[in-house]
């Protein structure tokens, strides 16, 4: 490919509206262009990377017996009514009517379509296990699209579905997929990623794992034990909480706290520590509008995901005054709520004594409350987020918190979909059984952008050799020189002939612009020839990632490049 013909412009300026390094660089290097909120076109270099990542995924899915299929993007409502998800998924799913006024939707995921394909197709236990997968466009109407392809509304996804007759068989296969995923991410070039226990969200099912690219700009928090390697998404992570002091000091006492409403304000006003307070966090359920009050120790944050699971509904903002409560003064003692309200006590309150909480009365709090004395019937649940420094429940070691971007996930779905849709398999003993499913997703665009977060530097993109849009950036300087021009054309042809994927910077412009572009675009190997290097009949070869420079005799250039490319791919794939 000659860069003079390449569709896409490199720009110096940081584009407005982009904050993530990866997003900025994709725009600046001419890889993507925004079409709407969370909607992008991929320009030729990005599509090349996209296809290379897809190919790695395809190879690894095929290697574990996966069979590629294609499900439709648009599906009729009836299919999703069978699973109940037409109603249960809210505004993330696009719904519309077709010309015949028929309810249709855009698939966010394809469990229903997978079961539909397998029904009456796999009928005997001999037809299982099997795994089908597709690589297809999906649209999710995200409330807050962000970071380019990291959280786009439209994206390319590999989604896979496996079917089994026994839980043991699923367990075995699930492990195979997990290993295949690790191979995929390693082959893409990831070095900083972890597998954590995941949250099942809208999928249903019990066991799940998330593959997380570790990065400071990740939206997810991960809890990791450096000792026993316990690792989990903070949404579902567990920990040993700090023990509370068991001494009771004095009786309850109502105190005026005026406009002090937040836990910080109350602590400042009463000159106490957040650890000696119990705060209330309030919501209502989106299904039914029931009030939900969660009490937890003042220095902890609520885990909305766990709370949401407890009440089996999504949660939304509530105006507590509508329920007759005093916002900013809600407390454990003397709380008066509707009969159908949920009230939960987090485990961080266990054994808490001598603490401050709201008085359920405007402008007042209560001091010297004691769980053991004043709330002795309370039962405790786990609804607080894990904090840095807490202990691992498995080994007691101190936990660390880090951030990550979810680049893949795998789920054990159980029989949630096969049961709902009535898919049955004839078993050897004459009975029938609903198959047990697993499902396995990889966001291709998100992987593409996350690897940039891991590898890019302040000069621009840095592509691993396995997925780079081109392997070599061939950059002759002074191409207006007839001699350089002729040698360049010749070398370019020889590189192409040798099967090297090369981008030839054939522009007669300043060396500075060309070298800067080569760094911005992140092609792994740059080859420069100029009147100066040609005086020694050699080329200057630079490794983008390390900056390492070599001078290679022109006669050995092609064969040396082939070896360097091969070595680099072997290095990336060495531990598979």
Interacting residues with a copy of itself (CB under 8 A): 4-9, 30, 33, 35-37, 39-44, 46-48, 50-51, 65, 67-76, 78-79, 91-92, 94-96, 98-100, 102, 104, 106, 113, 116-118, 120-123, 126, 130, 132, 134, 136-137, 139, 141, 143, 153-154, 156
- The pair of three-digit structure tokens given for residue 325, joined into one six-digit string: 């409560």
SS3 509: coil
444-455 helix and 44-63 helix, angle to the nearest 10 degrees: 110
Beta strands in 123-234 (DSSP E): 130-139, 154-164, 193-197, 208-214, 220-224, 231-233
Least distance in angstroms from the C-beta of 461 to a copy of itself = 18
Nearer to a copy of itself, 8 or 334 (CB): 8
Residue 295: CB partners within 8 Å, gap ≥ 6? 278, 279, 280, 281, 332, 343, 344, 345, 346, 349, 357
Least distance in angstroms from the C-beta of 37 to a copy of itself = 8
**Measured between alpha carbons, how far is residue 92 from residues 79, 385, 487 in Å?**
18, 25, 56
Which one-letter DSSP state was computed for residue 439?
A: E
First to last CA, the chain: 32
**Measured between alpha carbons, how far is residue 2 from residues 5, 151, 389, 501 in Å?**
6, 32, 54, 11
d(CA 130, CA 160) in angstroms, rounded, equals 10
Least distance in angstroms from the C-beta of 79 to a copy of itself = 7
Least distance in angstroms from the C-beta of 90 to a copy of itself = 9
Strand-pairing partners, residue 568, are none
Contact 150, 450 (CB under 8 A): yes
Nearer to a copy of itself, 70 or 550 (CB): 70
Contact 279, 328 (CB under 8 A): no
Least distance in angstroms from the C-beta of 417 to a copy of itself = 15
Nearer to a copy of itself, 9 or 532 (CB): 9
**DSSP states along 376-393:** TT--EE--B---TTPBPT
Least distance in angstroms from the C-beta of 220 to a copy of itself = 22
C-beta atoms surrounding 348 within 10 Å: 23
Nearer to a copy of itself, 65 or 289 (CB): 65
Angle ∠(201,203,208) on CA atoms, nearest 5 = 75
Nearer to a copy of itself, 101 or 546 (CB): 101
Nearer to a copy of itself, 133 or 230 (CB): 133
Tokens 């099967």 — which residue?
A: 499
Nearer to a copy of itself, 115 or 280 (CB): 115
Phi, psi dihedrals of residue 334, rounded to the nearest 5°: 75, 25
Nearer to a copy of itself, 4 or 536 (CB): 4
Least distance in angstroms from the C-beta of 430 to a copy of itself = 20
Nearer to a copy of itself, 137 or 559 (CB): 137
- The pair of three-digit structure tokens given for residue 2, joined into one six-digit string: 């000659």
Least distance in angstroms from the C-beta of 286 to a copy of itself = 14
Nearer to a copy of itself, 35 or 550 (CB): 35
Least distance in angstroms from the C-beta of 304 to a copy of itself = 20
Least distance in angstroms from the C-beta of 322 to a copy of itself = 25
Nearer to a copy of itself, 497 or 574 (CB): 497
User: How is the beta sheet containing 472-476 ordered, strand by strand?
Assistant: 502-504, 472-476, 525-529, 538-543, 549-553
SS3 77: helix
Least distance in angstroms from the C-beta of 534 to a copy of itself = 27
């Amino acid at each position: 490919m000659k860069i003079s013909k390449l569709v896409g412009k490199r720009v110096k300026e940081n584009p407005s509206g982009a904050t993530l390094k990866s997003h900025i660089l994709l725009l600046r290097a001419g890889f993507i262009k925004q079409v709407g909120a969370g909607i992008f076109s991929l320009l030729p270099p990005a599509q090349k990377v996209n296809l290379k990542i897809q190919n790695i995924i395809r190879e690894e899915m095929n290697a574990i017996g996966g069979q590629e299929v294609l499900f439709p993007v648009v599906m009729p409502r009836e299919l999703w009514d069978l699973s109940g998800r037409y109603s249960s998924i809210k505004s993330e799913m696009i719904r519309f009517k077709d010309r015949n006024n028929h309810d249709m939707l855009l698939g966010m995921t394809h469990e229903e379509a997978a079961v539909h394909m397998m029904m009456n197709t796999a009928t005997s236990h001999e037809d299982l296990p099997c795994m089908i997968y597709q690589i297809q466009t999906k649209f999710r109407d995200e409330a807050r699209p962000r970071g380019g392809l990291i959280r786009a509304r439209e994206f390319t996804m590999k989604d896979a579905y496996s079917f089994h007759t026994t839980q043991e068989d699923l367990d075995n296969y699930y492990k195979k997929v997990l290993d295949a995923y690790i191979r995929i991410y390693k082959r893409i070039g990831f070095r900083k990623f972890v597998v954590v226990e995941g949250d099942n969200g809208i999928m249903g099912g019990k066991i799940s794992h998330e593959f997380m690219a570790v990065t400071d700009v990740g939206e997810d928090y991960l809890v990791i034990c450096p000792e026993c390697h316990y690792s989990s998404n903070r949404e579902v992570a567990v920990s040993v909480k700090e023990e509370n002091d068991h001494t009771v000091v004095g009786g309850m006492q109502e105190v005026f706290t005026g406009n002090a409403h937040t836990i910080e304000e109350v602590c400042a006003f009463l000159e106490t520590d957040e650890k000696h307070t119990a705060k209330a966090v309030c919501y209502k359920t989106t299904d039914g509008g029931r009030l939900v009050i969660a009490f937890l120790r003042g220095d902890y944050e609520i885990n909305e995901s766990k709370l949401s699971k407890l009440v089996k509904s999504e949660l939304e903002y509530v105006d507590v005054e509508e329920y007759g409560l005093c916002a900013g003064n809600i407390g454990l003692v003397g709380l008066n709520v509707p009969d159908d309200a949920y009230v939960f006590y987090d485990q961080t309150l266990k054994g808490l004594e001598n603490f401050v909480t709201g008085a359920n009365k405007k402008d007042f709090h209560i001091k010297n409350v004691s769980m053991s004395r004043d709330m002795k019937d309370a039962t405790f649940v786990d609804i607080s987020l894990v904090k840095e420094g807490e202990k691992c429940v498995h080994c007691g070691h101190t936990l660390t918190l880090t951030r990550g971007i979810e680049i893949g996930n795998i789920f054990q779905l159980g029989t949630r979909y096969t049961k709902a849709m009535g898919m049955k398999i004839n078993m050897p003993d004459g009975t029938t059984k609903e198959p047990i499913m697993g499902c396995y997703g990889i966001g291709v665009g998100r992987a593409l952008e996350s690897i940039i977060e891991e590898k890019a530097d302040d000069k621009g993109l840095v592509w691993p050799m396995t997925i780079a849009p081109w392997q070599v950036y061939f950059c002759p300087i002074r191409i207006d020189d007839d001699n350089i021009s002729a040698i360049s054309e010749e070398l370019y042809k020889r590189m192409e002939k040798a099967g090297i994927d090369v981008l030839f910077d054939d522009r007669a412009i300043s060396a500075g612009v060309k070298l800067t572009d080569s760094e911005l675009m992140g092609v792994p190997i740059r080859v420069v020839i100029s009147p100066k290097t040609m005086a020694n009949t050699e080329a200057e070869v630079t490794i983008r990632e390390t900056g390492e420079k070599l001078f290679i005799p022109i006669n050995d250039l092609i064969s040396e490049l082939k070896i360097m490319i091969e070595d680099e791919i072997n290095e990336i794939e060495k531990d598979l």
